[in-house]
Chain A
């Protein structure tokens, strides 16, 4: 079974631009979560989607948004990029919204904002 796939793996943007990251969960998994990882703040939860609905949201500004499609694939978008948005963005999937299920993480998309 294929794992969680994130694209692109690396990208460089400039301040003010926007970016869209994609995540394909493990087949059969309907929940997708997004995390941001930076050296200073560590791993921080962005949001979780289940059945195309946002179920939970972390403490990030409205520039960070996401969506989930009927095939469970998810995208996240960051608008008006700032230097501080440079980070590793991780996607994780699980087969249920029950929290005692483990998360399966992808390898991440590394965003550099210049």
Chain B
């Protein structure tokens, strides 16, 4: 799995968009970018994943650069409940078993 780099912490005002960056410069062509988050004392929660194209679901949008060396997770209207540690993971796709390599993540603090 490719190594990912995220800022250790970020703040965001409630109601504004939260843009969480992630660098994965060594990502290989068959590795997906996954985002999970972990709210204090709970298990990690899947948010979104993508390979090449930008993706959007009910929770967030994922923007992947054309060279795939970085991506941004966008929470369009952050709420206090979005305060959590956000993990960006680069992982092989179908045909492979296993593990996700979690880094230290970004602690997002949404403030009123």
Contact = CB atoms under 8 A, between A and B. Distances in A.
Q: Determine the main DSSP class of A at the interface with B.
A: strand
Given A42-B102, A42-B103, A45-B101, A99 B44 contact: no
Given A42-B102, A42-B104, A50-B97, A99 B43 contact: no
A93 to B, nearest CB: 11
A99 B102 contact: no
Interface string A41-73: 011110010100001101000000000000000
A111 B106 CA distance: 25
Contact of B34 (A4, A56, A102): A102
Contacts of B103: 42
B92 interface: yes
Contact of A100 (B32, B97, B102, B105): B32
B93 A33 contact: no
Q: How many B residues are at the interface, by size bracket?
A: 20 to 34
Interface residues of A, number: 25
B49 A100 contact: yes
A90 B32 contact: no
A113 interface: no
Contacts of A108: 42-43
Contact of A105 (B44, B49, B97): B44
A55 B98 contact: yes
A55 B44 contact: no
Contacts of A99: 32, 91-98
Interface centre among B45, B87, B94, B99, by most chain A C-beta atoms within 10 angstroms, is: B99
Interface of A: 4, 33, 35, 42-45, 48, 50, 55-56, 58, 90, 92, 97-100, 102-108
Shortest 8 CB-CB contacts between residues of A and residues of B: A105-B43, A56-B98, A45-B99, A43-B102, A102-B46, A55-B97, A98-B94, A100-B93
